[in-house]
Every structure is written in C-alpha cells, then in structure tokens.
Amino acid sequence: MPLEVFLFFTNLLLNVKTMTGIRYITNDKGQKTDLIISLKEHGQIVEDLLDALIIEERKGEETIPFENFVAQLKAESKLDE
C-alpha cells in the first residue's frame, strides 16, 4: 500500500471520534467489527484505498508491454483502430 494512503488511513482511524461520516459497528461484546465510511463525505479516499489494495494484490502478477496489450484488445475487437 502506498505510504501516503497508509498514513492517511492511520490518521483517519486515530481521529475517528472527531470526524463526521465515520462509524464503527460493534458486536455484543462491544468489540469493533466493522467500519462504515460515508462515501458522500469520504468517497475519494475510499476509492484511493481500494486502488492501493488492488495494486498491492496484483504486485506479483505477470506484466506485458502496453503496446502488446493494445494489440491484443484490437485483435479481440475490444478496441477500435
């Protein structure tokens, strides 16, 4: 995960009591189990976090040159000439 995303979310979670649009869900024992983040207020941040998680998940995947990718899309009629 990119450092700036990690630092932002660390700060966000530390200051959750003072921020609007952030709520915890707790279980019967009062333990925090989930976090609800308002997309209206924090949508861009959530999108950035999800992008960072996808990037991290795909780090080990095989890559191909961009030109090959474009050629493949054109060959499959998924991209106009």
More confident position, 77 or 10: 77
Cα torsion through 16, 17, 18, 23, rounded to 10: 60
21-34 pLDDT tens trace: 888 899 999 999 99
In whole angstroms, what is the distance from residue 81 CA to residue 71 CA? 10
In whole angstroms, what is the distance from residue 42 CA to residue 21 CA? 7
Q: Which residue matches tokens 């990690």?
A: 6
Residue 66 has a pLDDT of 96
31-73 pLDDT tens trace: 999 989 899 988 888 888 888 888 888 889 999 999 999 999 9
Q: How confident is residue 7, by pLDDT bands cut at 50, 70 and 90? A: confident
Instruction: Write down the pTM of the prediction.
Output: 0.54
